[in-house]
Amino acid sequence: MKPSEKKVIDGLELRDKFAKELENKGVSVDKLYESATWKPASTDEIDQKALVVGVLATENEDVRSLRELTFTALRHGSLWHARLASGIFRRRHFLLLLSGLWLMCKTTI
């Protein structure tokens, strides 16, 4: 088993663990996307699935670009928030980031 396949299997086990915890708390996880419920039968199936999922699975490149830009901005925003909480950045830097995100969302394509 390749290291990348082990990571996928570990991630799927973690996902299933979280799903069980949610079900134990009364949260229904029945109506989820296929990407949230997929379970490979073998490591070969992981390789086959890798060919049809991912960033390029979205055909419309405008939607794909906007999705990736938003995800990247949120990821970096959470990093900035963590640094703000630890005192590395000042509040004005974080407010500048939030205003940039707001402008990005306000602007129409």
Q: Residue-wise pLDDT tens for the chain (109 aa)?
A: 788 888 888 989 998 898 888 889 888 877 777 777 888 888 889 888 888 877 777 788 888 888 788 878 777 777 666 666 666 666 676 677 677 767 666 654 4
Q: What is the pLDDT of residue 56?
A: 75
Q: How many CB atoms lie within 10 A of CB 10?
A: 10
